[in-house]
Structure 1
Amino acid sequence: MLIETGKRLALQAYEQILNLIVSGQIPPGVMITERRLAETLNMSRTPIRDALLMLEGEGLLIRQGSRGLQVKEMRVDDYINALHIRQLLEPEAARLAAGQISRVELDALETDLRDLLGRTLSDEGRPDRGLVRDVDDRLHGGIGAAAGNPQLAQIARMLRRQTQIFDLRSLPERFEATCREHLEIVEALRDGRGDDAALAMRQHLEHIRDSIVRRLTRA
């Protein structure tokens, strides 16, 4: 029971710290410490430590010797390289996952994606980033799990986390397109059309790459 409680607290800490990073509340280059995070999140340092190890393993945090952990600063080349590897891996994962994910799970994803499309954006004109990331994680993570290759799933998750730092808060114009592209992927997966699922995934990642390049290279 204590072990399960510890895992649950570590996952809670992980989600909260991840939200702070991808939302920009902890910006790239900032040094973070267990003590400060424990105070901010009102948690003990043990789950914070476990969560930081998870984030370090995903490449979002870089250890700087005795100084502690630093939020990774992603250069343009870093984004492009990570997305290039995702383009090599995730279409094949989608092909393998076609017909392997339960219809119930895919129907739930479709419902949430259509709900996101129909929602009124906030006063700032931005979508609910937490919900968008949840749906993104369920789709891409579900594909990785259903592809039947744990190493592929782990690598894809790590790369997705790194590219999520540059998410819809920086690319609000991608919100509707991303939802529609995800719907195409869901439909192909549900119908068991592996080639179409791979193509839809490849095009989705290409569109993300093009948007990021335009934003990062904009004068």
Structure 2
Amino acid sequence: MNPPNPSVLSHAEAGGSQVVKAQLRLREMVLAGELPGGARIAEVAISELLGVSRTPVRSALMRLEQEGLLEALPSGGYAVRTFSERDVGDAIELRGTLEGLAARLAAERGAPQTVLREARACLKRIDELMRDPALDDAAFSRYVAYNAEFHRLLAEMSGSPLIALQTERVTNLPFASPSGFVVVEANSPGARDRLLVAQDQHWQVLDAIENREGTRAEALMREHSRIAQRNLREALHGAQSDALPAVKLIRRRD
């Protein structure tokens, strides 16, 4: 068998990089409110704006449809989706259910020690952040990264690639990530206190997993998702609603 042509591989890698670039930038534009809900996406205009050809733009649009940010139009092309408040609440509830299952299985099956050590180290980094009496934007950004890492490790602890995959998929749904609305808290009163509550729940679920308490671990993670539900309500109806432009994609309940 002849070895792959390096020039062909290089071209394919470059094409893949352009797709990722277009996908990330388009996602940013949607979530930053630059592309409002219902807006039709013009391939040519986006291609010119991003400085890439239409082929990677087309692939990026297909991926964003799979993520749920865009919808395919019957006449062709894509438009920015809008979501009902119930849609988002259901997505968060689904994540809590899956993470609860992952935590229970981790406790019942016994989580790998290496993953437990990584999770403990991740939580200690969050503890370090929480020692400051006030959190600036940089600290909130680090919290989001550490929080996402802990939730990823939690899914890995289950020992089920299937559950880890499905949890990743639901986490990628618009607004369903563990830190989907944490930015709304950045400038709100008591933000640090609420993050401390969430962090305490992190430690409790880790303790339950290590002590093989499956029912407790599952209940804790289900309850943990309620924080995101409260943040959703604050993002839509609270004084800090302007802190997250993407909230405009969510249709409020009457």
TM-score, structure 1 normalization: 0.72
- Cα gap change, 1:105 to 1:55, in 2 (>3 Å): farther
CA distance in 2, matches of 1:26, 1:139: 31
- Is the 1:126–1:169 Cα contact (8 Å) retained in structure 2? no
Summarize the Cα distance change of 1:209–1:143 in structure 2 as closer, same or farther, 3 Å threshold.
same
Give me the whole-angstrom Cα distance separating, in 1, the residues matched to 2:54 and 2:46.
Answer: 8
Offset of 1:91 from its aligned partner?
A: 0.8
Unaligned runs of 5+ in 1: none
What's the CA shift for 1:78?
0.9
Question: What is the aligned partner in structure 1 of residue 65 from structure 2?
Answer: 56
What is aligned with 2:221? Answer: 201
Q: Secondary structure at 1:163's aligned position in 2?
A: coil
Aligned residue among 128, 136, 139 for 1:121: 136
Equivalent of 1:156 in 167, 173, 176: 167
Q: Do 1:178 and 1:204's aligned partners in 2 also have CA atoms closer than 8 Å?
A: no
2:158 is the alignment partner of 1:141 = no
Structure-2 separation of matches of 1:56 and 1:21? 12
State, as a whole percentage, how many aligned pairs show the same letter.
23
Deviation of the 1:187 alpha carbon: 6.5
2:97 counterpart of 1:88: yes
Query: How much is the aligned-residue C-alpha RMSD, in angstroms?
Result: 3.6
Q: Which residue of 2 aligns with 1:25?
A: 34
CA distance in 1, matches of 2:156, 2:28: 23
For residues 38 and 146 of structure 1, the distance between their equivalents in structure 2, rounded to whole angstroms, comes to 41
Distance 2:100 2:116 in 1: 20
Whole-Å separation in 2 of the counterparts to 1:133 and 1:43? 30
Q: Which residue of 1 aligns with 2:249?
A: none
Distance across 2 between alignment mates of 1:31 and 1:133 = 31
Q: How many pairs were matched up?
A: 215
Distance of aligned partners of 1:126 and 1:114 in 2 relative to their CA distance in 1, 3 Å threshold = closer
Q: What whole-Å deviation, never above 9, does each CA across 1:67-113 have from its counterpart, x for those lacking one?
A: 52222211111122222222322211133345236256325533553
